[in-house]
Structure 1
Amino acid sequence: MSYSTFFPVAFPALAFAHFVALLSPGQDFFLIVAHSIRHKLQGSRFICLGVALGNAVYIGVAIFGWTSIRDNKVMYLLVEVLGGIYLLWLGIALFRSTKRETELHFEQLEIPTAKKQLMLGLNSALLNPKNALFYMSLMTVILGSEVTLIQQISCGLWMFFAVLIWDLLIASLLGQPRVQKPLSGYIHIVERFAGLILISFGIALFVGYLNF
């Protein structure tokens, strides 16, 4: 089988647009930053996997069943409201970080379990309906109507691994001792800032809905 069997002509444009979007910090980014600074890669790697899996769900929705969900206003509104509440909850939890907690040695901090990390990342990605809009836009606007199912799935797999590898790279970088040592006395400030950003995302969801 040839390259064109799995990837359409517009694949380079899609890959570039997707990567540019990854460079733009969103709620998933700040969640990963907050956990990787405090718990290193060990305490954030499954968050990265959860975020990638959540994106994979919306990629699948974009490929197989976006129309039915898009037209179901109740379902979309439910996801949006739950997403706003979840962001507020996460943001407030991070915003309450104190300096006393960060004075502990990193080795003494309790590492979140793999299950907890996975659910944090999965919920963050799934409770963000903008992910669905983003992937639907990529699939329709860039790939067009002539793309085959195999090509869509191949592009979807590419984007899944791009999200996973990029997030793991960020978590790994922030977990390096040379990065953590200068930040050791300011981790609570970084976490509060990340929490404030997540709170603002949550409020923006509700404000946008009220204005609509």
Structure 2
Amino acid sequence: MFISTVLPAAFPALAIAHFLALLSPGQDFFLISAHAIRHNLKGSQFICLGVAIGNAIYIAAAVFGWTGIRDNPSLFCVIELAGGAYLLWLGAQLLKSGPNSELLESYRGHRLSALKQLWLGLNSALLNPKNALFYMSLMSVILGNHVTMIQQVFCGVWMFSVVLLWDILVAAIIGHEQVQRRLLNKIHLIERVAGAILIGIGMMLFAHYLPI
């Protein structure tokens, strides 16, 4: 009885669709990877938390029916352009990465503070209004109109947890000491690639608003 109360019938489809979306690398993935490869999990764990919290905010918007972003083209445009500018800035910072011939331990101490990591991850997630549209579509299309508030909240908590655990897993694997040591001389190249990809995503956002 309890399971049927909190678990909607369409939950398996929702969980699968959400996880498949996570497997597609986006700006959050490259941001986490760029920090994890240099500073391991400790230097990127709060970025993961910030990304998950940003997703949770949009999930809450979907659960409680805040459709202002979706139905307000001007607001959507402002957020999307702000996100594009943020990605361009972030990508430019990563492109400045240079080779480091010192031992791995020598630059672990330069990791960002927990608060700065959290802010970085939160910005990455929130300045991407497509996250809002994704969750609104996911919740409305798959769950339908007959789902209860309790079931929606359960699904929201589930998706938040999956995002957090998946990002932490990615950071843990990429930031593993053996992986770091193997890629020690290539870290700056990986960061530059991540920076170029983020800049590319940002430019695509701006290109969407250019007249044809």
TM exceeding 0.5? yes
Aligned to 1:79: 79
Deviation at 1:201, TM superposition (A): 0.5
- Equivalent residue, structure 1, for 2:145: 145
Q: CA deviation at 1:69?
A: 2.5
Contact residue 69 and residue 75 of structure 2 kept, 8 A: yes
Q: Please state whether the residue corresponding to 1:210 is helix, strand or coil.
A: coil
Please give the alpha-carbon distance, in whole angstroms, between the structure 2 residues aligned to 1:197 and 1:88.
Answer: 10
Is the Cα contact below 8 Å between 2:95 and 2:195 reproduced in 1? yes
* Per-residue CA distance 1:73-114 (angstroms, 9 max, x = gap): 222111111100000000010011111xx3232322211100
Instruction: Check conservation: 1:47, 1:117, Cα contact below 8 A.
Output: yes
For 2:127, the equivalent position in structure 1 comes to 127
Q: CA deviation at 1:66?
A: 3.1
Aligned length: 210
Question: How many percent identity over aligned positions?
Answer: 61
CA RMSD of aligned residues (A): 1.2
> How far did 1:186 drift?
0.2
Distance 1:68 1:90 in 2: 27
Q: Which amino acid aligns with 1:139?
A: M
Please give the secondary structure, in 2, of the residue aligned with 1:25.
coil
Aligned to 2:35: 35
Unaligned 5+ runs, structure 1: none
* Conservation of the 8 A alpha-carbon contact between 1:88 and 1:198: yes
2:104 touches 2:184 (CA, 8 Å); kept in 1? no
Tell me if the contact between 2:5 and 2:150 (Cα under 8 Å) persists in the aligned partners.
yes
TM-score, L = length of structure 1: 0.96
For 1:159, give the aligned amino acid. Answer: M
- State whether residues 104 and 181 of structure 2, in contact with CA within 8 Å, keep that contact through their aligned partners in structure 1: no
Task: Tell me the secondary structure at the aligned position of residue 145 of structure 1.
Answer: coil
The equivalent of 2:49 in structure 1 is: 49
Match of 1:106?
104
Give the TM-score, by structure 2 length: 0.96
Amino acid corresponding to residue 176 of structure 1 in structure 2 = H
Residue 181 of structure 2 corresponds to residue 181 of structure 1: yes
Match of 1:128, as an amino acid? N
Q: Distance in 1 between matches of 2:194 and 2:122?
A: 18
- Indicate the residue corresponding to 1:62 in structure 2: 62
Q: C-alpha distance in 2, partners of 1:149/1:28? A: 29
**Contact 1:66/1:136, CA 8 A, preserved across alignment:** no
Q: Which amino acid aligns with 2:4?
A: S
Moved over 4 A (4+): none
Kept in 2, the 8 Å contact 1:32–1:48? The answer is yes
Contact 2:59 2:156 in 1 (8 A): yes
Tell me the SS of whatever aligns to 2:65.
helix
Q: C-alpha distance in 1, partners of 2:47/2:131? A: 17
8 A contact 1:39–1:106 mirrored in 2: no
**1:211 CA drift (Å):** 5.1
Q: Bigger shift: 25-34 or 64-73?
A: 64-73
Secondary structure, aligned partner of 1:128: coil
Where structure 2 has 5 or more consecutive residues not aligned to the other structure, the ranges are none
